[in-house]
Amino acid sequence: MGDESRLQETGDPGIVLSVLTSIERDSATTQRKLARELGIALGLANAYLRRCVRKGLVKTSQVPLNRYAYYLTPQGFAEKSRLTAEYLAVSLDFFRRARSDCAALFRYCEALGWRNVALYGASDLAEIAVLSAGETAVEVLCVIDANSHARRCGGRPIVPNLAAAMADTVRPADGIILTDTQAPQASFDALLLMARRNGLPERAVLAPSLLRISPTAASVEEETAS
């Protein structure tokens, strides 16, 4: 089944909202530009655009040079408003949950006697974690993210790996907190392996409960043996 066929029944509301927002901002946008802005494949951008046209959210008109201009219909404006409100509600709920989880996690770090931690994954969750840490005696030293093109996250430097985070002999990290929201379970499993290689116990790796991390087999065995 092709991209467009799958989208007839389902679709990512976030991408639909981004498509409608982009068209409202620039009616002369092209499918290639749209794909680049949304960070998705050209074929997928085309499928979402066709879906919006088919649902009456977007209309097209031909302009010179055999190109098309895209416009939001009244139904498109209404749908954009609805999706925006929905997105903001979900974002606010995420912020509240993340704030609560991170606050509890840093209180736990304080109870363990930790003073310095590194975060793993540059994300909105990492920024919320830095904010929460500021209300405790725990200091976030840096954010580990090999794929980030930014230099800082939440005001903290981004480093490429755990070894770089542990290189500070004056203030070494007592533990690592997972803040990757793209592939949290895979990142957590990889982080446990990296922790072992850098001489850290697996218990030095923590994650907010909202990420719903499952313990790995190695973690389960360690808990059973203890």
Q: How confident is the model at residue 9 (pLDDT cuts 50, 70, 90)?
A: very low
Q: Looking at the predicted structure, is the pLDDT value of residue 5 above 80?
A: no
* Same domain flag for 66 and 103: no
Residues 6+ apart with CB under 8 A from 87: 13, 14, 17
**Domain ends where: 21, 40, 72?**
72
The answer to whether residue 123 sits within a structural domain is yes
Considering the domain architecture, whether residues 109 and 210 belong to the same structural domain is answered as yes
Q: Is 198 inside any structural domain?
A: yes
pLDDT of residue 123: 93
Q: Are residue 40 and residue 119 in the same domain, yes or no?
A: no
Residue 111 pLDDT exceeds 90: yes
pLDDT digits (tens, 9 = 90+) for 10-35: 478 888 998 999 998 888 888 898 88
Q: Is the pTM of this model over 0.75?
A: no
pLDDT of residue 87: 85
Q: Is the pLDDT of residue 125 over 80?
A: yes
Within a domain: 184: yes
Q: What's the confidence (pLDDT) of residue 226?
A: 41
* Statement to judge: residues 106 and 149 lie in one domain: yes
User: What does the pLDDT look like over 79-89, one tens digit per residue?
Assistant: 999 998 888 88
**Residues 58 and 20: beta-carbon distance below 8 Å:** yes
Mean pLDDT of 182-202: 87
Q: CATH number, domain at 38?
A: 1.10.10.10
- The pLDDT value given to residue 197: 85
Q: What is the pLDDT of residue 29?
A: 86
pLDDT tens-digit map of 31-79 = 898 888 888 889 999 999 999 999 999 998 877 766 788 999 999 999 9
Residues 202 and 146 in one domain: yes
Query: What average pLDDT score do residues 207-221 get?
Result: 71
Structural domain total, the chain: 2
**pLDDT value at position 216?**
57
**DSSP letter string, the chain:** --HHHHHTT---HHHHHHHHHHHHH-TT--HHHHHHHHTS-HHHHHHHHHHHHHTTSEEEEEETTTEEEEEE-HHHHHHHHHHHHHHHHHHHHHHHHHHHHHHHHHHHHHHHT--EEEEES-SHHHHHHHHHHTTSS-EEEEEE-TT---SEETTEEEESSHHHHT--SSS--SEEEE---SSHHHHHHHHHHHHHHTT--GGGEE--GGG-PPPPHHHHHHHHH-
pLDDT at 218: 42
Query: Would you state the pLDDT for residue 38?
Result: 83
CATH, residue 111: 3.40.50.720
Which residues form the domain of 179? 94-216
